[in-house]
Structure 1
Amino acid sequence: MFLPPSNYKDGSSFSARGLNVDFDDIDSYIKEKKEVSKAYAKSISLDYPKLREWDFKLLSHFKPFYAPLCDMCCMCTYGKCDLSENKKGACGINLEKQQSRLVLLTSCIGASTHAAHARDMVDRLLEHDPERELKYDSSIDITSPIITTLTGIIPQNASDLDQIMACVEKELTNLMASAHTGQEGDYLDFESKALHAGMIDNLSLEIAEIAQINLYDLNKGQEDTPLLEIGMGVIDREKPVILAIGHSIAPGTEIIDYAEKMEMEEDLEICGLCCSAIELGRTSARSKIVGPISRQLMFIKSGAPDVVVLDEQCIRADIFELCAENHIPIIATSDKCSLGLPDKTDEAPAVIINEILKGELPGVLIRDVKKVGQVAVELSHQVKECRKTAQEMKTRSPEDLKLTQSNGRCYICSSCGTDCEGETLSLTEHFAGQECEDPQALIEECIECGQCDRVCPVMLPLTQAIKDAKTDDKELMASFYGKCVGCGKCSEECSQDMPMVNLIRWAAQDKIEAEKFLIRSGRGPIQDVEIRRVGAPIVFGDIPGVLALAGCSNYSQGEKEVALIAEEYLKRGYIVVAAGCAAMDIALYKDEDGETLYEKYSDRFDKGGLLNLGPCVANAHAIGSAIKIANIFARVPLEKNFVDISDYILNRIGVCVIAWGAMSQKAFAIATGANRWGIPTIIGPQASKYRRLYLGNEEEPRTIKDKRDGSTVVSEPAPVHLAYSAESMNECMVMTAKMCIRPNDTPKGRLIKLTNYVDIHQKYYGILPSDLVHYIRDEKEIPFKYKDEILNQLKDAGWEPRMAAQEPSIL
């Protein structure tokens, strides 16, 4: 170690043979570096003008296609304005511009939601320790691929994340301002800003994941995560049931921590719906998953939860009324979802519990998540006791229950665990729940008007099921379980107030009780060592592709389809990663061997691997894996190098996002962000209601650049589209194989990809694809099984061999 001389003072220097050390210069240099670092931290920004150039280049190959839900604009007091037949509105906007503005607004709403979630996680981390070092597993060197590519920095602590969040919030403010009347006036610029909002969403996802992984010490990419129970049948209703709904990890973690602290975890059933369920599973293997968002209405109406804890996102707007109808106390925890409830954050837990048990409050808002943990655990036990007493009361006479003659209420029987005075609301009376109506009698009241059929978003034949049930045939109605998206529109439209969701639950009771499946706990990021192992095979096409299954449960033909899509491609050696509701829906399926796909397939990021990355915010790891491939395998620099990274992904990495049940603005923002990274997306038929696709020309070759010599090259249209809506599972199966083809494929890789494409096309359509002339560059790439037929097709089309671009690019 070098030590300065003992007589050294600040500002002095000394010399030795061949060495001159000026400590004043060293001090100045260190001070200057610190100042530069501070200034740089304050000036974190995204180079939107450069990103806009990339957007326009991207959109020159993939044209926006609009499908308006209506021809009117009602956004300002000039309106409403009719924009049909190329008419302009009062502000000068036309239908094309209006649709692109709505696309921007949708993307901004989704991005803002994830950004708010990320801000909450970062603030919690700041409260814990602003300078705490952010750590990942030792096998992960690239800890923040999205952040580093966009901002040029690698966050070291919570303060760094705070600075990046400030940048995110600034960008979102500008984007929302662009949607105001009298601002942006070009549809391509609206689309560019929508892509920017989607990318901001992806950035927010990564910030949220980094923050919560470090704050709660979650899995950091290790393989072989535990298998958790999922399904409505796995919930033990004999125990107090606490149900968490939403997307934040914070309240659920505190519930688990308090239960463990009080040694009550064995006596509780802590479960979740939607992404909160996956977050619970990352925290404790004891927790259980009810299911995706489509189970929310049905599970609440079943009356199974004793307490419902809400955080944020994907919560039904009528959740308070639903819980009140079923006498389920509700605890809201976020100012983004307060539901008109009184704020009891500063109240003592015992007082809150007492007010709820007395029936004075049907629910509360508690913004202190530690207090939420205590209140939820203790309240659930007392509510369960009340419910058990209520059930017991139904079998006993009034004399046994010591009812007063004045009000007929329970009087100091002590069964509720507290002394209920006669003039107060009886605890047992309040939590007894409603008597279940006779389903068969309800069915007889149906007038078979068919209105429920007309409003069902997935077109279930509800009227026919009612007709069958009148003859005691419940088979058709029971089959709706797993297909019903749980929206409740059928009941809202019914003139007889038929509780259709309850009837489906009644008909499918045996199926519900048997709904016991297994799902992998969310594993978090992809390790760098895994990327090194598969980078070359993915880029060259030996591993045909990486599929990222994301989005909600708004399926047109039931949740089974997303599992069948995953299974088809797992069998063919594709890597399949999933997050959020899609990850849960994959688990709600067993193959012919009686195994879930999570049991059957490895969770390694390798050929034929199936990974549950985690909740919605874990979609950042899917996009991050593509970025890592470009950096680790191809040595493409990351720092503020978005355009080169995205160009590499678009032309060389066979990755595709499938948001088969996308419903929310968040899902749209995730997919739109992936599009900007050069990742194509396939959405389901329901998601066409997002109004916009990015379609390529699949009838003609595409002209691109070869960066090796700067020449212009005629290439295959690959990927064929950037955002595409498939009308059926069969079409999705075929399109997925085609979306993974890239100009960079080696002859062997192209042969593998085309073999899958042709085989799947034959399997689901019964014929060979007609567009092979665009994708076969040499006879060596023709699938062996169909070689003669394909050669005849190529001959008829006048096909000739061609050279592939060595370094394909659209720049």
Structure 2
Amino acid sequence: MEEEKGKGEEKEKEKEKERIAREILREMGERGQLEQWKPRLNIFADAADIEEWDSVLLNRYPAVYANAELNLKKEEKLKKEEQAKQARQSLQEACKGLSRQLGVARRLLDFSVERFGREKELEIGKSVTYPSMNTSLLTGFYTKDLGEAERALCYAESQLSKLLLAQEQGGESAEEFEEKALHAGSLTFLAMEIAETLKMCCFGFYNAGTRPATEYTDFPPVETEVGLGAADTSKPVVVFLGSDFLPAWFAVEYLRRSGAGLEEAVEICGVGAVGHDIPRFYKRGKVLASAVKAREVFRAGIPDVVVVSGELCFELDVLEEAKRVGAKVVACGLDLELEERSAKTVQDLVSEVLEKDLPGVRISGPEKAGELAVRLVVGVKKIPKKKGKIKQDKFLMRAGRGPMSELEWRDLTFGIILGGNGPGMINILGCGDRGDCEGSGNGKEVAEIARYFLERNALVTVSGCVAADVAKYFDEEEGGRKFLFEQYIAAGVLKGLVNFGGCTAISHVPAAVYRGALVGSGYVPKANWTQIADYLYARLPVVAIIWGAWTETMFAVASGLVRSGIPVVVGPSCSPSCSPSCSPSCSSNFKRFFLGDKNDRSKWWMYDGVTGEKKEVEPCPVHMLVPVETKEEAIAMSAKLLHRPLALRDPRLASLEAENEAYKNFFGEYSDDWHLFVRSEQELHVMRRAELLRKLKEEHGWEIEGMRIKRARHRSGELMEMAEYNKKYGIQLGRYSTLVPRLVTEKGSDDK
């Protein structure tokens, strides 16, 4: 019976795949794409289904492991065994990050289905043409209701089982393990996206997709208070911890229902993931700190009641820390060595905790936990708290806004793809600065990185706990501080500073870049991973910076970004004098990188998309996952990674100037390979042109005539006329090209 049932389920899955495939092929046919390329759909993709693209990346950027054993002179067989061992570890770390996000999404989805039903519509908004991009590229469909979200999440959970089995069994090559680790990263974004979609569509989180474009410049307003000094400790303070926002959501619902000025009387604050979620549905919510600094919140004596729900990102003895400051603990779905009391009424629980002076209670329902937290904090006797320096730790930011729209990308396309008015899109994400790590400097480095690129006309997005660190930058002006979020508009355009939101909102980073690819290509964004990634990798000047504390989730996120074709910079590295307590969550725990070799000319090529001719191109992006130690290195490397082989003239000028300026300002000299990206004197910034032309002549053997390049030195050493040089090196401006043989069009087809 079980065997027959299994066969029946397999048949149903195959029928569903066929239905999805017919729909996608019909859409491709309507767009005239079936005559140009052979489709290869990855519906409900296994890792092997996207091997076509993964192999391109891993061949150009082979994994490098921060392990001394790999650098020893070993026999080739032993080297491969050691690499496979390290790659297997990569898969394990990526699966841990994926598992955490699947757990977050599953708990929220189950609760949403129970509360709203499977038919509940998931409408992101009219401003977003392509919803749930992370999901559709892997499954072939958009999640239009809770039932479809369930299908997508079940797929991701089944994929995790397969990945864990492969990791457990071993026996694969390093490349095969790394392909699976990349797949785990892509699935992590799917899980995050499902959770994020439910937050916006079922629980009223801020969502730019439902807003007209005219509001984007100031949406959401700069009104969210950040820092330990944000909480008014003269009032009862409830602090929420963990990855589950539901108790906080129900606490706010209870406050609103109760009236009688209760909203003004009680402070609702959050730490970590839930801290960044709260202001998206409750504008009075405060973000006290990133999860890695949760202990500081307790040591400052801020909470009167602490609610813990979901998983904690970093190790913390919540019960012990709460006892130190006399705070009561409500654990929702967590043990914490508290007695389970879900069966009792809220009134009984309040009475017991207060009368018996219990340290806290454990209950299972988020609705009861939210109400209990509010009623309990009103009854808790306040302990006088000193202000001291904590009062100065108070900043302003915008709450997370959710997705970026196609309309913003259309505007951005003219700025960074066609016009070169800005260097590109810089996405800063992560778990925030530790503060106690010497490598993290003054704790404001990430804000300084954001400000640097904003001043140079880039679009900067932030997501995760790192957004609160960006808020710490301000300028002293007459009348007070002016914070970074107040200095720049919130639209996804040049010189815009966009806060996507907390941890699950990191999924908006690849989704936004996919939309950018669709604006320029018109490709079908369903089960079409390779074509979308191939397009954006070679054209869109986009970089991600993962800054601050290390977690398995960030490891998975980095893997997913790389697979999407987005270069990643990670840092800062630990100082050698750092304390041992720093090491478990220091960014130095990134042990696997994807580094290119700019000197190996055999790695840098593309196919002419019409003729199929294989052509040598510039070595860019030179790396896909690279570590840095300081903010200066992060800025310079990010600028360098904005180079793209298919960039037009003015964008080439913008990216080259971004690199040259950063290297010159921070290190006193230009990089040793800047000349590899020059195809015309018009691509040299007018203020540096004379200096750079002189360097081309004196240091690189180019022939310069006045302010013009007459002949260039090819990488082969041959000196040739510029027309011949540009014919042999690089892709003709505007010419359709690809890294994937299948995506070469039929000869005679129109150029893309």
Shorter-chain TM range is: 0.7 to 0.9
Letter in 2 for 1:563: A
Task: Specify the alignment match of 1:232 in structure 2.
Answer: 228
Change (3 A) 1:781 1:84: closer
Change (3 A) 1:564 1:119: same
Q: Distance in 1 between matches of 2:388 and 2:179?
A: 50
Tell me, yes or no, if structure 1 residue 809 matches structure 2 residue 696: no
Task: Specify the alignment match of 1:270 in structure 2.
Answer: 268
Task: Specify the alignment match of 1:576 in structure 2.
Answer: 460
Letter in 2 for 1:203: L
Q: Distance in 2 between matches of 1:112 and 1:84?
A: 34
Tell me, yes or no, if structure 1 residue 304 matches structure 2 residue 302: yes
Which has more radius of gyration? Answer: 1
Letter in 1 for 2:499: N
Change (3 A) 1:751 1:164: same
Tell me by how many angstroms 1:93 deviates.
8.8
Letter in 1 for 2:431: C
- Of 677, 681, 700, the match for 1:797: 700
- Of 392, 397, 405, the match for 1:527: 405
Q: Distance in 1 between matches of 2:194 and 2:66?
A: 33
Task: Specify the alignment match of 2:320 in structure 1.
Answer: 321
Q: Could you list the structure 1 runs, at least 4 aligned residues long, displaced by more than 6 angstroms after superposition.
A: 41-44
Change (3 A) 1:154 1:758: same
Task: Specify the alignment match of 2:629 in structure 1.
Answer: 727
Letter in 2 for 1:346: A
Change (3 A) 1:592 1:237: closer
Identical columns (%): 29
CA contact (8 A) 1:184 1:190 kept: no
Change (3 A) 1:744 1:93: closer
- Of 746, 763, 780, the match for 2:648: 746
Q: Distance in 2 between matches of 1:641 and 1:47?
A: 13
Change (3 A) 1:84 1:759: closer
Task: Specify the alignment match of 2:382 in structure 1.
Answer: 387
Tell me, yes or no, if structure 1 residue 185 matches structure 2 residue 183: no
CA contact (8 A) 2:43 2:138 kept: no
Equivalent residue runs for 1:430-449 within 5 Å: none
Q: Distance in 2 between matches of 1:653 and 1:44?
A: 25
Q: Distance in 1 between matches of 2:314 and 2:49?
A: 38
Tell me by how many angstroms 1:713 deviates.
1.4
Tell me, yes or no, if structure 1 residue 692 matches structure 2 residue 692: no
Change (3 A) 1:774 1:626: same
Tell me by how many angstroms 1:643 deviates.
0.5
TM-score normalised per structure 1: 0.76
TM-score normalised per structure 2: 0.82
CA contact (8 A) 2:20 2:141 kept: no
Task: Specify the alignment match of 1:549 in structure 2.
Answer: 428
Cα-to-partner distance string for 1:531-579 (whole Å, 9 max, x where unaligned): 2222343333443211111111245213210000000000111100111
Tell me by how many angstroms 1:258 deviates.
0.6
Cα-to-partner distance string for 1:372-412 (whole Å, 9 max, x where unaligned): 111100111111xx235xx6xxxxxxxxxxxxxxxxxxxxx
Task: Specify the alignment match of 1:653 in structure 2.
Answer: 540
Q: Distance in 1 between matches of 2:453 and 2:86?
A: 35
Q: Distance in 2 between matches of 1:543 and 1:92?
A: 44
Tell me, yes or no, if structure 1 residue 559 matches structure 2 residue 443: yes
Tell me by how many angstroms 1:88 deviates.
12
User: Equivalent residue of 1:591, what SS?
Assistant: strand
Tell me, yes or no, if structure 1 residue 285 matches structure 2 residue 277: no
User: Equivalent residue of 1:179, what SS?
Assistant: helix
Tell me by how many angstroms 1:40 deviates.
5.5
Equivalent residue runs for 1:113-262 within 5 Å: 113-127=100-114, 128-180=116-168, 182-221=169-208, 222=211, 223=216, 224-226=219-221, 227-262=223-258
User: RMSD of the alignment, in Å?
Assistant: 2.6
CA contact (8 A) 1:695 1:724 kept: yes
Q: Distance in 2 between matches of 1:344 and 1:88?
A: 60
Cα-to-partner distance string for 1:192-218 (whole Å, 9 max, x where unaligned): 111010011011111111111111122
Q: Distance in 1 between matches of 2:613 and 2:560?
A: 30
Tell me, yes or no, if structure 1 residue 330 matches structure 2 residue 329: yes
- For structure 2, which runs of at least 5 residues remain unmatched after alignment? 1-11, 22-41, 574-585, 703-711, 713-721, 741-752
- Of 717, 721, 732, the match for 2:619: 717
Change (3 A) 1:761 1:203: same
CA contact (8 A) 1:41 1:163 kept: no
Tell me by how many angstroms 1:299 deviates.
1.2
- For structure 1, which runs of at least 5 residues remain unmatched after alignment? 1-32, 73-82, 392-432, 434-505
Task: Specify the alignment match of 1:436 in structure 2.
Answer: none
CA contact (8 A) 1:41 1:160 kept: no
CA contact (8 A) 2:292 2:313 kept: no
CA contact (8 A) 1:44 1:163 kept: no
Q: Distance in 2 between matches of 1:700 and 1:607?
A: 35
Tell me, yes or no, if structure 1 residue 633 matches structure 2 residue 520: yes
Task: Specify the alignment match of 2:493 in structure 1.
Answer: 606
User: Equivalent residue of 1:694, what SS?
Assistant: strand
Count how many residue pairs are aligned between Structure 1 and Structure 2: 645
Q: Distance in 1 between matches of 2:244 and 2:618?
A: 43
CA contact (8 A) 2:422 2:456 kept: no
Letter in 2 for 1:608: K
Q: Distance in 2 between matches of 1:176 and 1:782?
A: 50
Cα-to-partner distance string for 1:253-311 (whole Å, 9 max, x where unaligned): 11111111112111101101112111110011111111222431111122220000112
